[in-house]
Homo-oligomer: A and B are copies of this chain.
Amino acid sequence: MATPAIESASGTLAHDVRDLALADQGKRRTEWAFQSMPALQSIRKHLIKTQPFKGLRIGALIDINAETANLIIALRDGGASLSVCSPNTDVTQDDVAASLARDYSVRTFAIQGESDEVHTHHLEAVLSSKPHFTVDHDGELLFRLIAKPSVAPKETVAGSEGTVRGLTRLRALAKEGRLPYPVIAVGDSQTKHLFNDRYGAAQSILDGILRATNVLFAGLTVVVAGYGWCGQGVALKLKGLGAHVIVTEIDPVKAVTAVMDGHRVMSMSEAAATGDLFVTITGGKNVIGREHFDKLRNGAILCNAGRLNVEIDMETLGQSTSSRRPVRQWTEEFTLRDGRRVHVLAGGRPINLVLAEDSPASVMDLFLANHALSVEYLLKRNRSLEKAVHSVPHDIDRQVARAKLEAMGLKIDRLSLEQEQYMGSLSEPS
């Protein structure tokens, strides 16, 4: 793919997408997703009315798909002008990117499978818009900004960060006093952990495994490595589908929790010899490695739903293999030296991103609504906030949840004055 050549009249690159002709399909898909996003619907209405982003330039590094498109549109409808590119070039939905560019005046730079070179161009294109606000992923935009202080837009006043990894990096930066502007941590709000990870990602992972293998979960022994929010969700749903779940962990508290939730717990060493299917969701490296390959049962299936492609040690597996061949579209069979066959899904890359469609819209809804409110919150307060990573206030989680309940037509209770007084009085000596 050549360097993007499409330039706007003013000489600025206005967009770089696969094919504007895909925009019709992309628009339809974006609107269909929006129907399942009642919280964002409600917040978009509020943004349209209050125009809190009037005149604001937002630069966003964010997956481009039918769901995130609706966040981008909501920010735009709140008055912002946006430039966007994508962190995971694998998963860009080209039709949605085309529609953003054509139908919503968003400067969109994202093509599925773009080369590293093109990707860098796209990042630069976004930064060249001199954003006041960065919507970031892994801190990529922010680190680029501080790497070239000469060209860094001085206008940038605040940002959001959506990934746990990005937050870790930015917090380290803040500790050293080098964070250039306040950042709000949308990546670890309660909404994200509960809904995106425990419900959304969990279902996507199972969906991805089914598409890759069509195994029957009922009666299958599945090893879930990592009992964080996402691992808990996967394990619970697998149990609900009739699988036998084995959990591996490094944290004893999580391990005991897994036992009491009805799962078996063992070391990966022991689990390696027992499981039919393995799902890694730890955020760590080589969770399944050399010493485990030796123990796997003939026919074992390995997949990763965690970090990049590092949780399964694919390099060592390749070296232990006498032959390999694809057996289904996303399934590769490795024949080990001793004749055992092992199957790896999606080359060890995150199965939910590669194969499934990531979290369903109804769940992305909550996360993205939270994101929109967090941007608004930070901009309102950014003069008074110190240059640090700020947590999403619990009130935003509650506001999002309230919008969701309303959309579902569900009512909850409120404390009466008397009840509130009683709760308060509990803190008084009796």
Contact = CB atoms under 8 A, between A and B. Distances in A.
Interface stretch (A15-23, A55-63, A148-156, A398-406): A398-406
Interface in A215-266: 215-219, 237, 239-244, 248-253, 255-257, 259-266
A242 B214 contact: no
Interface in A337-383: 341, 356-357, 359-363, 366
Given A35-B299, A405-B265, A216 B242 contact: no
A116 interface: no
A237 B394 CA distance: 28
A412 to B, nearest CB: 5
Sorted nearest first, the 7 A-B pairs with minimum C-beta distance are A240-B240, A252-B401, A216-B360, A285-B422, A219-B260, A218-B260, A242-B262
Given A194-B253, A203-B241, A249-B413, 14 more contacts: A169-B426, A169-B429, A218-B262, A219-B256, A219-B408, A240-B241, A249-B412, A256-B366, A256-B405, A265-B412, A267-B413, A270-B411, A284-B419, A285-B419
B195 A217 contact: no
A389 to B, nearest CB: 12
Contacts of A260: 194-195, 198-199, 216, 218-219, 242
A8 interface: no
Nearest to A424: B168
13 contacts: A36-B215, A169-B428, A194-B256, A207-B211, A239-B240, A242-B260, A256-B404, A265-B405, A265-B410, A267-B411, A267-B413, A285-B419, A285-B422
A93 interface: no
A200 B207 CA distance: 15
Contacts of A356: 210, 214
Interface string A297-341: 001000000000010000000000000010110010100000001
A190 interface: yes
Contacts of A410: 255, 259, 265-266
Copies of this chain present: 4
Given A28-B327, A172-B427, A203 B218 contact: yes
B248 A413 contact: yes
Contacts of A412: 248-252, 255, 265-267
Nearest to A361: B214
A130 to B, nearest CB: 22
Contacts of A253: 190-191, 194, 394, 397-398, 401
B29 A328 contact: yes
A214 B362 CA distance: 9
Contact of A266 (B35, B362, B411): B411
Contact of A259 (B168, B173, B198, B408): B408
Contacts of A402: 252
A268 interface: yes
Nearest to A243: B262
Nearest to A414: B250
A286 interface: yes
A165 B219 CA distance: 29
A180 interface: no
A139 interface: yes
A254 to B, nearest CB: 8
A143 interface: yes
Contacts of A366: 256
A215 B405 contact: no
A6 interface: no
Contact of A168 (B249, B257, B426): B426
Contacts of A169: 426-429
